[in-house]
Structure 1
Amino acid sequence: MLRTLRPPTPSPRSLRVAIVAESFLPNVNGVTNSVLRLLEHLHDEGHRAIVIAPGPGDDFVEGIDDVEVVRVRGFDLPRYPELRVGLPSLRIRSTLREFRPDVVHLAAPAVLGATAARVAGRAGIPSIAVFQTDLAGFAKRHGLNRVTDGIWNYLRWVHGQSALTLAPSSVTAWALRARGIENTDVWARGVDLDRFDPRHRSDELHRFLAPNDEVVVGFIGRLAKEKQVERLAPLLAMPNVRVVVVGDGPERDDLQRKLPGARFVGFQSGQMLSALAATFDVFVHTGVDETYCQALQEAMASGVSVVAPSAGGPLDFVQHRHSGLFWSPEVPETLVGAVDELARDPALRARLGTAARAEVEQRPWPVIMDELIGHYRAVIEAPAAEVAA
């Protein structure tokens, strides 16, 4: 849900930004959420924006009446019907010609983003590609190892059409450079510090989740294979611990069989999501292939002690034994050890939760979006030859 927007503030140099989103509303996922936060910021700062995204869906964004959404045909990813991928369309060319953007923002570019990058390049419009979806990792997790090299070859070509690629974390940026996507910088994700705040903790909700006053150990995220939520299974045998899973997805039925003692509360949003995140005593993230891990950052903003994998995006914003605990993917038993230590030590939970909130207070969305606007201006002002290189 979009927040209440303030009236736009004219910028010293207002920009026109065309956002090409590989996935967008009505589908809700990391790509969609990032684009919505960007649209809010562009509106607030007096910039103009348009969105090109797969249909079906509305041709407007609720709450931002000056943003048009141009829909193109798309297809569902296998086993992920809620994720639509856009197909090449002549509407991209006509939309860019009519809107006349200063820059094209490619959100998780794949098929639709590749077409937009090529069209923008031919028109002399710089584009920035935001890497967010690990397509090669997605294929590997589904047993398609033989196509991963081909996917990386394709992604090198797609990102090579853009002036700059932005990765959400240092680890992801290093991996992209190692794969030949050289012109890469880090652009992290922000957090809504009002929506995710310790004040949303609810004693009544805690009693509902844990009637016997157990320590509530929670997970929030898509119930998909890559999240590896089944790693929570050993926690079910721990005394005085209640495991709570928030989210939905293709693996939900299978996970409910594998985690018979866990409480599944389904997909949540708005005030209930804020309350759940703040009411957990411990937040555990089980996936080890996260390019960033927004759910983990939101739990930290909620003042909750976190247990994170010592891999991927969390390495950038979790400090072991200061703002959370790491568990090692190479030694899976460390996940149980970390949770056990926190379950036994409420003082440690409180100390880590306080430090976690202080850590993420440095990254509110407006600060992160101002960094992105800086990248926009840099590629717009760069000489044409430099952008082409």
Structure 2
Amino acid sequence: MKIAIFTDTFYPDINGVARTLKHFTNYLEKQNISYKVFAPNSDSNEYISTNIRRFKSWSFFLYPECRLALPNIFRMKAELEAFSPDIIHVATPFNMGLCGIYLSKKLSIPLVGSYHTDFDYYLQFYDLQFLSSILWKYMKWFHKPFKKIFVPSHETLTQLTRHGFANLEIWPHGVDCELFHPYYDQESVREKRSITKKYLLTFVGRLAPEKDVKTLMSVANALPAEVSKQVQWLIVGDGPLRDEMQAQSSSNMIFTGYITGTELAEIYSASDVFVFPSPTETFGNVVIEALASGTPAITANSGGVKNIIKHGETGFLCETGNAAEFKDAIINLINNDSLRKQIGREARDYALTQNWDTIFDHLLWQYQAVLEGTTIQKFA
């Protein structure tokens, strides 16, 4: 099987879509499966591969990590014909995705797609709710040609079904439990990051309105003084609200900027609690990374995260935007060592069941079903 992937974001971009697709292409390489990625150029020249065709681009205002490309459609068509894929997978609904749809029709190549980002939920964080009906009309039109639309959670499947989407299939995301685990030297991590307080609370994500960092700051400020003085916050990520957050933060909050790989895994492992109030996740990659690291997660009871967190077992689900609930959950965990450790063990055990290879094996079977015009058992 030869697979062509059209996406508006790819490694080394730092976001869930880019990271998921990089895991997928790593898997394809291990399986000796031919693939070609058509993607915008990157600000970094860190990753160059003959399997990737890059195009000039600029940042999308709602999601700067997703870029709008300026592809040469004739050159793209020639490259695609030369590669001769069996199937096209479109991962994003912007320029590159539109090219994938057009070329699929033009060259009669079977088309599938994946839905990763809840842009409709983003609108309310930018006071653009009036665009909601237009957005949904566009998204339905965009996804209509797909033989299958892969979604990362049951929550997203329910949402898209409600809006009239068809051919939906669950494609959950996995986690690398060899990279993310609880067994790093936590003392050296604390020393490296100048963590001197008893408890380390961590947030990982883009510092932007749709991640509800406003609630995160409210939670930090709501902790009682006797608790706050025992707590160190580590804010991993960057974005348009970083300066504002730093201006509002107290001395027990450290901002690291973006961190990836082993360095990020060490931080998860050294953390006592992972706090993530974002309500807009279709899955929640950073949440399952924290769980794999044996770190209990306190998250918003919204989006795909609801399908990862078992309340009271692998973490706690709090009402979206309710800083008091998040505060109480934090206090409960840091005041109860046995509960925190038990939830950490349960979290790790759950993450171990979310194996990328098994998930990608199933995706390839779904591709094959599209090519053969058959159906297979749905992913649980």
The reply to whether TM is greater than 0.5 is yes
Letter of the structure 2 residue corresponding to residue 74 of structure 1: S
Q: Distance in 1 between matches of 2:214 and 2:43?
A: 33
CA apart distance, 1:44: 0.8
The residue aligned with 1:321 is: 312
Kept in 1, the 8 Å contact 2:12–2:46? The answer is no
CA apart distance, 1:209: 4.9
Is 1:348 the counterpart of 2:339? The answer is yes
CA apart distance, 1:30: 1.5
The residue aligned with 2:377 is: none
Q: How does 1:60-75 map to 2 (within 5 A)?
A: 61-62=47-48, 67-75=50-58
Please say which of residues 139-148 and 316-325 is displaced more in the overlay.
139-148
Q: Secondary structure at the match of 2:281?
A: coil
CA apart distance, 1:217: 0.9
Number of equivalences: 366
Please say which of residues 326-335 and 215-224 is displaced more in the overlay.
326-335
CA apart distance, 1:161: 1.5
Q: How does 1:1-389 map to 2 (within 5 A)?
A: 15-55=1-41, 61-62=47-48, 67-78=50-61, 81-87=64-70, 89-90=72-73, 91-207=75-191, 209=193, 211-233=195-217, 234-236=219-221, 237-238=223-224, 239=227, 240-261=230-251, 262-329=253-320, 331-382=322-373
Please say which of residues 295-304 and 20-29 is displaced more in the overlay.
20-29
Describe the superposition over 1:182-214 as per-residue Cα deviations: whole angstroms up to 9, x where unpaired: 211111111011110011241132356575442
Kept in 1, the 8 Å contact 2:152–2:170? The answer is yes
Kept in 2, the 8 Å contact 1:225–1:251? The answer is yes
Kept in 2, the 8 Å contact 1:210–1:216? The answer is no
CA apart distance, 1:346: 0.9
- Structure 1 residues 254 and 162, CA gap change in structure 2 (3 angstroms): same
Q: Which runs of 5+ in 1 are unaligned?
A: 1-14, 384-389
Kept in 2, the 8 Å contact 1:80–1:250? The answer is no
Letter of the structure 2 residue corresponding to residue 381 of structure 1: E
Q: Distance in 1 between matches of 2:18 and 2:64?
A: 15
Kept in 2, the 8 Å contact 1:278–1:302? The answer is yes
Runs of 4+ in 1 over 3 A off after TM superposition: 56-62, 79-83, 207-213
Kept in 2, the 8 Å contact 1:305–1:323? The answer is yes
Q: Secondary structure at the match of 2:51?
A: strand
Kept in 1, the 8 Å contact 2:13–2:42? The answer is no
Kept in 1, the 8 Å contact 2:116–2:152? The answer is yes
Q: Secondary structure at the match of 2:183?
A: helix
CA apart distance, 1:178: 1.1
Q: Distance in 1 between matches of 2:156 and 2:7?
A: 20
- Superposition TM-score, scaled by structure 1 size: 0.88
Q: Distance in 1 between matches of 2:101 and 2:62?
A: 28
Kept in 2, the 8 Å contact 1:60–1:68? The answer is no
- Superposition TM-score, scaled by structure 2 size: 0.90
Kept in 2, the 8 Å contact 1:85–1:111? The answer is yes
Q: Secondary structure at the match of 2:317?
A: strand
Kept in 1, the 8 Å contact 2:204–2:235? The answer is yes
